[in-house]
Amino acid sequence: MTPPVYPDFWADSMAEWLRANVIVAVFAFLIPSLVLPRAAGEDALDRFWRVFTYGVLFWTVTAYVLAGMGGFETITLLLALALAAAFTLSLRRGAAPPEEGGRAPGALVLDLLDPHARAARLALARQAVARWRKDVRAWARGLLRPLTLAAGAVLAAAYLLRLWGPLHQAAPGTSDFYVHLYWTKALALNQVFVQGLYPMGMHAFAAALAALSFINPLSLLRFLGPLFGWLMVLSVYTAAREWGGHRLPALVAAALFGLGTAGPLPEAAVRQTQPLPQEFAAAFLLAGCLAAGRYLERGRGQDLAHFGAVLLLDTLVHPYASAGLLLVATAMAAGTLLFQRAQARSALVLMAAGAGGVIAGLLPLAVGRLLGRPWYGSSLGFVLRPPAVQAPASWAGAPAWLGQHPVVLLGLLFGLLWMGAGVLRREPSKHRGLLFGLGAAACAATFFLVQANVSARPWIAPDRAGELWSLLLAPLAAAGLFRWLVPAGRYPRAAGFIATAVIAATLVHWPPAAPRPLLLEPEAAAETYLRIAREFEPFTWTIISPVEQFSEVLGRGWHVELVDFVRRHDPKEAADPQFVLKDERVGGASGAGGSGVAAVPPDGTIDTPNVFLFVELRPFGLNRPLAPEDEVRPLPATNGPEVYEGNARAAIEARAYRWALAYLASHPDSCTIYFKNQEFMVLWIRQ
């Protein structure tokens, strides 16, 4: 029987999953909701997206600024939160009265303590409490409605599908995960401008939460990925509900996007299980589209501010996602200018706000350029001129590709139908521009998706184009079904039949399946790292392993790259009882990438009390155990992930295994096996 790598892994994973979600809910939603007054006519979902946007944006900007000033510490973050709350609450007298949308709960608490107007404030508080009780009762009754129960089941299933892999797998599931974990830890160590292609908005938010909650960043990022993947599903539900005017199209859209992980939409569902910047930013994309549409219809400043905040946040996180939002907003503004000349000012103001949000979000790139960080500053160039991706040679392959993906043609059809709905005068005049703009955005998204898959030099990677296309087309298609196919006057029965048929057909033809993240290291290696980080004090241990674990260990302990170790240490020296690692030097900051973030102790010696040597008895990626000929294979001459592939990895692991056996035999009192199974072994050296 294979021994467990980490006996408490499941219990600790559940505990950290709960902590991660609670910390996001408290700091990104609950606390901001106490200081942001409720807007008039705002329902629960609309308020959630507005408050959550401002909450995430606050922590993102705060972490950016504090790390840039070299003061990224937990106590500093708490002080920043206290100052922000005090400033916001000081503006409570300018908030809208209860009858116009309500006051922030935090402001009401301070109102009750005001000795000069206690009676009046108490009356307002009673009115607010009565209104909240009424809302809670209505919300509780609504939970028992069939549509609400069905929506809850779909959303819960969508979240479980995205959570399943990360919950059962400690190791990062994509190569990007390692990079984003490294950037998150580097930012927490006040290293803002490090090598990278995008602004570090997601990393700033994750670093702030990790500092406030004391959660291992690896565990936090494991669960942030599924959470924001699920928020994408919730945004689809919200958009379809508003564009379709009912919860039935919202239910269909959520089922198509949330449960069809291997289904008709090219949504790259496995990306929604990982902490990736595009998914982080895309979770807010539809909320920004809805805010832009509401502003064009109603001209309210709160909607304009929400749109600007989403665009700023998305630009700080991922320029591709902000470009998608700007595309949709521009199309809606153009439709407004075309059909509603009286609202031309709103359209122009929206475009100005969009430009301002993008410029503000790109400021970190400009700062990086001014500080002489070419990789960081070249992000904008990468966005405008991305590298070539392997694809068919030209647009000549478009017919064949479309024949294999007919759902893309349906997307184009829905885009044309939405544009036609804007042209037809049977639609209310105030909606015509928005409908036309949404249709134009859908057609443009379809064009970009096809171009990404048939061009030799796509403007956006095919999987990313597919995900953003699916995010927009899922709510538009579901809303379009109910707008054009449901006969007037028979909405409930016909709509229910269509919704049931669409969801059932989708689930039968494409059964829901949890997207399985990839593995780039043995699962036992990641679990052993978590066990070591849990059982030993920080920086009292060094792990010697392949380069993949560098970002996991960074900021918790020390890491030595395995290929460096086997180059410098021969099994003959390990057989000497007088030999100790404490006095041996091992090269510079392995894997640091020139960022100045150390990976090994500054003096280059392995002098920690505990040293863990990771050895693969069956080299990862090879379906065989170590063989005698592996010891005589030449070692790679370079470092990095590419040297740990195929027989080169076997050569490295074979030398490490022989060294481990020799050291274990000659140092029985200070060396034991920390873990071993048929595929993986960890040698624990105490010095």
pLDDT, one tens digit per residue, over 662-682 is: 999 999 899 999 999 889 999
Q: Which two tokens stand for residue 348?
A: 């122009």
Tell me which residue of 644, 639, 565 sits closest to 600, measured CA to CA: 565
pTM of the model: 0.86
Each residue of 392-412: b (16+ CB within 10 Å) or e? eeeeebeeeebeebeebeebb
> Binning pLDDT at 50, 70 and 90, where does residue 51 land?
very high
Look up residue 174 and give its two tokens: 């994509």
Q: For residue 255, is it left (φ>0), alpha (ψ between -120 and 50) or beta?
A: alpha
Res 588: pLDDT: 42
Sheet harboring 680-686: ordered strands across?
558-561, 541-545, 610-616, 680-686, 671-676
Q: Side chain identity at 687, as an amino acid letter?
A: Q
As a whole number of angstroms, the distance between CA 295 and CA 238 comes to 17
Q: β-strand 558-561 against 541-545: which pairing, if any?
A: parallel
Per-residue model confidence as pLDDT tens digits over 333-364: 888 888 777 677 888 888 888 888 888 888 87
* Max CA pair span of the chain: 91
Lowest mean pLDDT among 242-256, 258-272, 476-490, 521-535: 476-490
- The band of 504, judged by pLDDT with boundaries at 50, 70 and 90, is confident
For position 379, what pLDDT does the model report?
A: 46
State residue 681 phi and psi, 5-degree precision: -140, 145
Distance CA(376)–CA(561), nearest Å, equals: 25
Q: What is the pLDDT at residue 570? A: 85
- What would the 3-class secondary structure string for 338-355 be? HHCHHHHHHHHHHHHHHH
